[in-house]
Amino acid sequence: MTIEINATHDPARRSWVESANQPDTDFPIQNLPFGLFRTGDHVRGGVALGDRIVDLAALLETGLLTGTAAEVAQAAAGRTLAPLLACAPTAVSALRAELSELFREGGRGDRAALEGVLVPIASAELLMPLKPTAFTDFCTSIDHIKRMAQGAAPLAAMALPVAYNGRASSVVASGTPIVRPNGQFAAAPGSSDIRFGPEPMLDFELEFGVWLRDGNALGMPIGMAGAEAALFGCCLVNDWSARGIQFFESILGPHLGKSFATTISPWIVTMEALAPFRVAARGRGEGEPEVSAHLHDPADRSHGGIDIELTAELAGQRIVRTNLKELYWTLAQMVAHQASNGSPLERGDLVATGTVSGAAQEARACLAEITFRGGETITLPDGSSRTWLQDGDTLTLRGRAQAAGYVSIGFGECSGTIVPAKGAA
């Protein structure tokens, strides 16, 4: 399913909400991502515009939305965005078009009435947009795999998108404190001295995620076109990693080293908003196997990638700069492969890419790569050094979709602060 460029992507379009016209805003009028927020004890859905949130429930009360747009706004105005994901793509597009018209300079919106539906983002608590029905974390960067394997990538990682089924119950919104997990680990690499206690090698992973609007019945695979159509919108993902626990336990795959917390950015940036930033998928080089037939699609090869610059900051210092377009596998390939054995995906599933590392040194997207598994350190602005994350550290991910001739858009912060491990109750 190819999303066409339309008036909502017009780079000349400006909003009468002045903050939406600032060049550094994540939320220009060309974006219009959906989210869930709270003021006082009132939780409801909204759309980000500059430094404001369009309160959809309040907007419905003005009567300025009618027909399909009003129906979709109603689905997105409640205490979860799950009903929004059930809306047809054309219907969601109709709401985005109406919002763009109401809030653009020279549009038909009644500014006097619309001023009252805008809530400052700074005065709201941003929440999880919905509870994921399931969470799958892939490992789709060949550069990450090579560095972690300390050599050539395994053939399987070049032949299929490797993944594990994560823990949906520990997915949390940006700003949620991250408790250092307890677990078992070796006192030193190769040591037989096995200890239980606070994780000594706490790491982050800069990832990207997509929310699914549709799934498949048990036993029924999804083709590539169906997988692309199932993509609703995207967010940033930090799959926190307890490396000591992970390295010790990984016989069947990740378990407690990964299940303690995964942070996501709170806004869902729609696939429609990302249409201008689609690029060709990564090709295959010498010695790399051709894409398997069940994951090959000409449309995906031509525009399955997305040009999104991703960064990570620790203590206010940028330590990672990478790009989503460098991934070995596309979002649609991940979804199609997950369902290729008939495993049922569901509306509201969250699928993550795994660590988005690139070939460049600055594109190493986790501390295990940056510090060569703890063999080196990085120096922070205050003069302190890090090999792994310490208690009190705040790690923040950001993303910017970019393309010549279009207004760049962002995702908001994906941030978490490490707090000390807890004792058993």
Active centre residues (catalytic): 144
d(CA 411, CA 234): 8
Place of tokens 């990638």: 305
Cα–Cα distances in angstroms (integers) from residue 283 to residues 155, 230, 277, in the given order: 16, 23, 18
Cβ atoms within 10 Å of 218's Cβ, excluding its own? 8
Q: Which structure tokens are listed for 98?
A: 């109406």
Q: Which residues contact 12 (CB under 8 A, 6 or more apart)?
A: none
Neighbours of 130 (CB within 10 A): 21
Q: What is the β-pairing status of strands 414-419 and 178-179?
A: parallel
How many CB atoms are closer than 10 A to CB 182? 18
Q: What is the DSSP letter of 165?
A: E
From residue 122, give the alpha-carbon distance in Å to each of 38, 115, 306, 416. 11, 16, 29, 17
In angstroms, what is the C-alpha Rg of the chain? 21
In angstroms, the first-to-last Cα distance of the chain is 51
Strand stretches in 140-265, DSSP E: 162-165, 171-173, 178-179, 182-186, 194-198, 202-203, 206-212, 231-238, 241-242, 262-264
What span, in angstroms and rounded, lies between the C-alpha atoms of 35 and 371? Answer: 35
- Beta-strand ranges (E) seen in 267-349 are 269-270, 278-279, 305-306, 308-314, 317-323
Residues 135/352, Cβ–Cβ less than 8 Å: yes
